Structures are given as C-alpha cells and as structure tokens.
Amino acid sequence: MKVFLGADHGGYEMKEGIKKWLIEHDYEVEDCGPFKLDSEDDYPDFVFPAAEGVAQDPTGQSFGVISCRSGAGAVIAANKVKGARAVSAFDVKSAEHARVNNNANVLGVSGDWSTLEQAEKMVEAFLNTPFTGEARHQRRIDKITQYEQGK
C-alpha cells in the first residue's frame, strides 16, 4: 500500500512524524512536501500532488495523509482533485467512519489540535478499515463521481 503525504508549515511536523511512523510500519511512502519548514509556504502546493497521486492510482490501493494547522484547508484543497475523497478526522472513530461509509481515500489531520500519537492511531485506523461496499454508500459515491465528471 502506498501513502502520499502533503502538508504546509502548519502540518510539517505532523507530516514528518506520520512519515516516520509509516516507514516503521512498512508502508510505501511518497512525500509530496514540504521538505523543510517554511512559514510562507501554501498547502495547495503540496496537497494537490498528494491527492493526485491517490486519485491517479489505477489499482485504488493508494491513500493520502495531509496536514495543515486545522486540517480543514488541506482537505478543501484535496477535494478539488477529481477522484479524491478527503476527510478531516479528529479521532479514531471518525477516521474509521470515513472509510466504512464514504470510502475516503485521503485523511486530513490537524497539525495543531492532534498529537502525533493521536494522529498515528487515526492513520492506522484509516488505512486498515475497509469500505463496506454497502449499496447505499456506493450509490452516494457514484453520484459524487458522476458530478465530478459533469454528468
């Protein structure tokens, strides 16, 4: 499983901590930046490539983890990428719910309001929780996909 990472200065430390955890747990990681702390950087510059990496994986086996101060801005940016279904989680239950019901493929984590330990647990739950494929959930995802495609 490949995990794409993206952040900004507000999520840089969180991204680096999550990256270390992912590598220690044998995940394939692609870090889309930033690669140094820069208080003037902008999350779209790093979140767009991370979300694109997820959305362009033909196997559908890639995920993204993104971070900024709140997690919200990064999620808004990621959701502009066709095929990305990004959510912001605040605990393990919300991370699991996003996978089970929404088949989310990008997880937004707050760099300010989550500890690294909390984020690691959310990421683990997100990556290891399968989508149910239940008809009503798939129907909703299909509607989103159709809208994205202008149908």
The burial of 57, by beta-carbon neighbours within 10 Å (0-12 exposed, 13-18 middle, 19 or more buried), is given as: middle
- Report the greatest alpha carbon distance in the chain: 45
Ramachandran angles phi, psi of 41, nearest 5°: -75, 170
C-alpha distances in angstroms, 87 versus 39, 49, 61, 150?
24, 17, 17, 22
If we measure between CA atoms, which residue out of 68, 129, 64, 61 comes closest to residue 95? 129
> Token pair for residue 49?
């490539």
Q: Which of 47, 66, 68, 81 is catalytic?
A: 68
Which tokens hold the place of 109?
């984590």
Is-catalytic flag, 32? Answer: no
Looking at this protein, which amino acid is placed at residue 110?
S
Q: State the catalytic residues.
A: 68
